[in-house]
Amino acid sequence: MECLRTRGIRSDPVFRYAAQVMTSTPLEREIKLRFPTAAEARAAIIAAGATPLRGRRLQEDSLLDTADERLRQLRCVLRIRIEAGRSVLTYKGPVQASRWKLREERETIVSDGETILYVLERLGFSVWFRYQKYREEFGATDAVIALDETPIGTFVEIEGSEAAITELAIAIGRSEADYLVDSYRSLYVQYCQERGIPCGNMVFEE
Residue 36 within any structural domain of the chain: yes
pLDDT in the model for residue 25: 54
CATH number where 88 lies = 2.40.320.10
User: For residue range 14-47, what is the model confidence (pLDDT) as tens digits?
Assistant: 444 444 433 445 889 999 999 999 999 999 999 9
Q: Which residues contact 32 (CB under 8 A, 6 or more apart)?
A: 101, 155, 156, 157, 179, 180, 181, 182, 187
Determine the structural domain holding residue 59 and report its residue range.
13-195
- Taking 60 as the threshold, does the pLDDT of residue 6 lie above it? no
| Residue type at position 84 | A
Q: Strands 77-83 and 143-150: what pairing?
A: unpaired
pLDDT of residue 60: 97
Cβ pair 100, 111 in contact under 8 A: no
pLDDT for the residue numbered 20: 46
> In this model, does residue 9 exceed pLDDT 70?
no
Question: pLDDT tens, 66-98?
Answer: 999 999 999 999 999 999 889 999 999 999 988
Does a structural domain hold residue 27? yes
What tens digit of pLDDT does each residue of 95-111 get?
Answer: 998 889 999 999 999 98
Residue 73 lies in a domain: yes
DSSP 85: T
Per the domain annotation, does 177 fall within a domain? Answer: yes
Q: Say if 201 falls within a structural domain.
A: no
115 falls within a domain: yes
| pLDDT at residue 99, as a whole number | 87
**Which of 7-11, 83-87, 188-192 has the weakest average pLDDT?**
7-11
Task: Could you list the beta-strand ranges (E) of the chain.
Answer: 27-35, 51-65, 77-83, 86-96, 101-110, 126-140, 143-150, 153-160
Q: Give the model's pLDDT for residue 42.
A: 98
Mean pLDDT of all residues in the chain? 89
Element (DSSP H or E) covering residue 40 = helix 38-47
72 falls within a domain? yes
Answer yes or no: is 6 within a domain: no
Number of domains the chain contains = 1
Mean pLDDT, range 161-188, rounded to an integer: 96
